[in-house]
């Protein structure tokens, strides 16, 4: 299996604080990975650096064959086309219906509107939101919004999904639907899934890897 993410002697952090120090790890194509660690351990920072949003301080971070250390802006937007993200600060667009929000990544890719609509309806059905297609984000509960956000993240068949605490704060019903959608994406579409989460979900049925962050160090738990 191909290597999708490769970190070598990687340092990431901010002006006053190095969050990840000398990390070496790989994520392989079709992996299902939980990135764990206590609050403040650097999960969000690491997941955002894989998306190119937090710059590499030192070492190498290669994503899909692209080196992110010193990457140019133009190359970054190319990389991001192949990624699906669920970040806490990347919310649904309030002025758009749920259906249109989920269609967005396909429309950006230039896919025909009728095809995008059909696929969005199909995914929204999987997360039990068929009855909310014409609603606006503010009219949905937090769990429902998160389910829609995850449908949006996978609709364009990204090579890899990066999700930051996608099930934290969700009730069991929404959490299960969200996990089912990630597992479906991984199994049926072969999408690599990377989930940052302070703890593992209660119950789920997938072979996974656990990459753990602790005091700036990154290591695999098994």
Ligand X SMILES: Nc1ncnc2c1ncn2[C@@H]1O[C@H](COP(=O)(O)OP(=O)(O)O)[C@@H](O)[C@H]1O
**Which residues here bind ligand X, judged by CB under 6 A?**
14, 17, 19, 37, 39-45
Selection from Mg ion, ligand X, none that 37 binds (CB < 5 to 8 A by kind) is ligand X
Is 41 near Mg ion (CB under 5 A)? Answer: no
Burial class (CB in 10 A: 0-12, 13-18, 19+), 46: buried
Residue range at the interface with Mg ion (CB under 5 A); choices 37-45, 109-117, 151-159, 205-213? 37-45
Count of residues making up the chain: 222
Selection from ligand X, Mg ion, none that 90 binds (CB < 5 to 8 A by kind) is none
User: Interface mask (CB under 5 A) for Mg ion, residues 57-86, using x and -?
Assistant: ------------------------------
Classified as helix, coil or strand, 56 is strand
Q: How far is CA 130 from the centre of its chain?
A: 23
Pairwise CA distance, residues 95 & 41, whole Å: 35
Pick 14 or 90: Cβ nearer ligand X: 14
Pick 35 or 124: Cβ nearer ligand X: 35
Strand segments (E) across the chain: 3-14, 17-28, 32-36, 56-63, 66-67, 83-86, 160-164, 192-196, 209-214, 217-221
Pick 65 or 169: Cβ nearer ligand X: 169
């Amino acid at each position: 299996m191909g290597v999708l993410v490769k970190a070598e002697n990687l340092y990431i952090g901010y002006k006053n604080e190095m969050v990840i120090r000398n990390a070496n790890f790989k994520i392989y194509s079709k992996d299902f990975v939980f990135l764990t660690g206590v609050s403040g351990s650097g999960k969000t920072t690491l997941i955002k650096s894989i998306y190119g949003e937090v710059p590499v301080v030192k070492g190498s971070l290669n994503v899909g064959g692209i080196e992110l250390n010193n990457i140019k802006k133009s190359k970054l937007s190319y990389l991001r086309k192949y990624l699906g993200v669920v970040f806490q600060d990347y919310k649904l667009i309030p002025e758009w219906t749920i259906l249109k929000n989920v269609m967005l990544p396909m429309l950006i890719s230039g896919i025909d509107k009728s095809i995008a609509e059909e696929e969005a309806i199909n995914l929204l059905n999987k997360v039990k939101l068929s009855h909310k297609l014409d609603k606006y984000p503010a009219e949905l509960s937090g769990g429902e919004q998160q389910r829609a956000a995850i449908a949006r993240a996978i609709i364009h068949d990204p090579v890899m999904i990066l999700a930051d605490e996608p099930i934290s704060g969700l009730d069991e019903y929404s959490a299960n639907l969200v996990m089912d959608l990630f597992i479906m994406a991984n199994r049926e579409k072969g999408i690599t899934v990377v989930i940052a989460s302070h703890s593992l979900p209660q119950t789920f049925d997938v072979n996974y890897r656990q990459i753990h962050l602790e005091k700036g160090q990154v290591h695999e738990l098994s």
